[in-house]
Structure 1
Amino acid sequence: METLELSFITPRITLVAAAENYGRFAIAPLQRGHGSSLGNALRRVLLSSIPGAAVTRIKVSGVIHEFSSIPGVVEDGTQLVLNIKGIRLRSYSDRAVALQLIKQGPGPVFARDIDAPSTVEIVNPQHYICTIDDEHTTFEMQLTVERGRGVQLADTVSGMPIGEIAVDALFSPIPRVNFLVEEMGDDPLTGYDRLILEIWTDGTIKPGDALSHAAQILAQYFGRIVNLNQPEEPEPSAHLPPPIPEEIASRTIDELGLSTRTYNSLRRAEIHTIGQLLRLDDRGLMSIRNLGAKGIEEIHQRLEALGYRSGSSSRLPAAPSGETAHPGESSHKEE
């Protein structure tokens, strides 16, 4: 294969402006014509492929379908579903999570009234849901939260139990992306492009983190193309590790009692549960910014105290029968 000489100018990524749930980034210099190609690719991935969480279905006490009226509540089923779609949240569980809302009126009901487990965080607690207009009414609703990408329309959900109402799930945390390409230099032939990228989020993810995630997705595709003519290595025939029990996978890293530096590094990398840690090997942990070898060793020690090891094929608790392994009692101690 003929080797082609590559001419590449390393661009700089600069945060130009920032506000709540908004970021404006400049990427320059880029070779002429590359700004539009890069901007369009990033925009499409940002809008379609960033994972998020949403309410996928609800069950309201005394209501059979979404076109029913709700006793003691101003809104009907249709209006309630529309309001539910506006709840923005983070889910740290890979499985569906049930939330409960019980409110005795009268008065408005907000997202903050929802009883959520530790694996779910409501980002907009002031979001309005409905109003109870009868002092004798107790409004009860169960919400199911799931993780996904893009949009899941309620019309595509089948096999729902009687009494459960499907909700249009807006998983994507990126509602809007714009990009603009500016010319750098006076000569249209030898000049460069500057890519201006604007990202709006729903508050569940930072604009910079979303941009980084989108770039990683594109890099995975381009990495395969770069190695197009290289023979693929056979995948190892080692047995896959056993699945992680949900009761362990959904536990938060707060229970590990990690030092402040290690804990903050994991949180910035969007790692919030023990299950996420167990799926990472040492190479994956090393890729986490500001973690380092000392932090990785600390994580191993804390997980081994529970009878687990990250990235290991042995994921079953190693504690003797009748005994329970516990992580350190202290929480986020300073190093």
Structure 2
Amino acid sequence: MRTAVLGLLCVTGLLANELQISQPSHLTVLQGDSVSMNCSFNYTGDDRVYGKWYKRQPEGENQYLDKSSAACVLLHPALLDNVSECVVTTHIPNISFNHSGGYNCEVKIPSSKQSIDSEGEGTRLEVYVRPSVSIDQHAEVVAGAQFTLRCVARGFYPASAGIEWFHKGALVSSGDKPDHLEKHKDGSFSAYRYLRLFPKAKDQAMVFTCNVTHIALQTPISRDVHLSVKYPPLNQLVYHRLSPSDGFQPLLGRSLYCPPGSYLELLCVVESEPASQVVWFNTSNAILGNGTNSTATMKGQASDGGVYWCRASNAFGTMQQEVRVNPESSFPVRMVTYPLFVITVSALLLYRKYSEGKAS
């Protein structure tokens, strides 16, 4: 807790029944701190001095502060003029924004000869209030759709505040003033700065930072937001294996050749947010595999050749891929047997011709 103590220059002189009271014209203090306000004057006399501070009210009676005290110290005791310097002090702890306003120092000196009733010209107490900072997000962040983030600085005083957006230390918003400044009934302010984005799926978990500067802050206030981007299924991949003990291998192309009757397992994987429902189905629309978390497997035999589809879907879209299973060796049999037949027949004809030539 800091305390601001503000002293004043003394103004000398006593004119008739009026004192020349000196008090500060303007004081500033941070909300939550404390302040001591002093007024001073010179007085020639031996009567008791009474002093109080009060807050001026727009309507109604002035609000006197309870913690006011007056003390006088005799100046130049050796002199016969008997001049004292008097100070009236009030202390306000834990200042709030409601303490803002105009204050006066009032002095009364009752006397059997001539009573004195005077006051200063007034002090304006200005309370600086630190902003509270938050980031508003009112809708889902969807890939390919415009999205707006709003950084809000609330309840600050005075009105001037800086609000900027950053990404990886680089400024991504522009403008010397906030996009919107609002004054509240109590005299405090709120301000907004918008950041408009067209996010992509790759922007998932991207971090943006809002920095707020204000005269009541020793260092800026920073708030981070991590984008949670929603997007449809992407990067669909199919893997296969011909034995439960084998690891899955990526499928190259859209066709798979495998030995007849062998074990076959197909795995379909997609990227999406949120996770997709993934199903395998055939030309009869029979569901052959059903999975969540963006993966699904289909088990069967290679003899169950044909066309299969992997379909992935979430609330933001659908993606489908075709896989054709051919129950034959890695190279189709006809591609091997036909050349072998040609070579065999050619060899037999050459041998027959050679035998006939030798016999003749």
Give me the TM-score of the superposition, normalised by structure 2: 0.19
| Structure with the larger strand share | 2
| Structure with the larger helix share | 1
Give me the TM-score of the superposition, normalised by structure 1: 0.20
Higher-RCO chain (CA-CA 8 Å, sequence separation at least 6):
1
